[in-house]
Amino acid sequence: MNTSSKRLVNSELLVINLKTYKEGTGINALKIAKMCEQIQKNTKIKLIIAAQPTDILLLTTKTKIPIIAQHIDPINYGSNTGSILPESVIEAGAIGTLINHSEKRLNSSIIINTIQLCKQKNLLSVLCVKDEKEAKKYAEYHPDLIAIEPPELIGGKISISTAEPELITKTLRTVGKIPLLCGAGVHTREDVHHAYKLGAKGILVASGVVKAKNVKKEIEQLILGFKKLSK
């Protein structure tokens, strides 16, 4: 991990996963990244976007928002048709990658290889897990961040912090010093605040932002959730 990634890992984070939503693809991805760039000027919470591989270069050349890939394959240059080459996302300007997102589940050896490859290539590794058991299994490989997302809450209206607060607290104990993100169903400032209060370092969010009527306003209100509790 390079110095600026280290700085990111030590900050409160709002990671916006654009998935393959129409509202988060191509020119629409750029619109969201530009909004993030504006918002970033007025907040200490660090914004990161997880983009499709085909959009990374566009976003990194037109904005200063850190971009991570949604997935990479632990492969080298060569005969790997259809795979995502780590060097390609690096060359396009990505600073890291999600690994094992709920919608792109990987087997154990691929997860471990990808975490190790990220270390070799100085890519920020954001390992997604579905439960505490999985967090425990991979914490020993030291991904830079772990993101817990209960699959059944993804894309819904009820957030992890409302439905499964104990999952956040239990996983925090399991991951030790690795900063924990949490996600699934996050839509409101309260959802963020609750997770933050429980000890999450950041939020991984998709539909709540990407499909919001007013994306800028939604990001701004989620950021407010990181504010310390006022008495």
List contacts with ligand G3P (CB under 6 A): 17, 101-102, 149, 154-155, 183-186, 204-208
User: Which is nearer to ligand G3P, 9 or 41 (by Cβ)?
Assistant: 9
Nearest to 45 by CA among 66, 29, 75, 63: 66
Q: Single out the catalytic residue among 101, 187, 193, 194.
A: 101
Residues 6+ apart with CB under 8 A from 138: 111, 112, 115, 127, 129, 146
Cα–Cα distance measured from residue 90 to residue 53, given in angstroms and rounded to the nearest whole number: 10
Nearer to ligand G3P, 68 or 228 (CB): 68
**Distance of CA 39 to CAs 61, 122, 192, 215, 217, Å?**
18, 27, 17, 11, 10
Do the beta carbons of residue 176 and residue 147 sit within 8 Å?
no
Q: Point out the residue whose Cβ comes nearest to ligand G3P.
A: 207
Let me know if 101 is a catalytic residue. Answer: yes
Please identify which of the residues 12, 132, 149, 218 carries the catalytic annotation: 149
Toward ligand G3P, which CB reaches closer, 48 or 178?
Answer: 48
Residue 100 or residue 102: which is nearer to ligand G3P going by CB?
A: 102
Q: CB within 8 A of 136, min separation 6: which ones?
A: 174, 175
Least distance in angstroms from the C-beta of 218 to ligand G3P: 11
DSSP string, 5-39: HHHHHTS-EEEEE-TT-GGGSTHHHHHHHHHHHHH
Rounded to a whole number of angstroms, the minimum distance from the CB of residue 3 to ligand G3P is 26
Question: Does 194 qualify as catalytic in the annotation?
Answer: no
The residues assigned a catalytic role are 101, 149
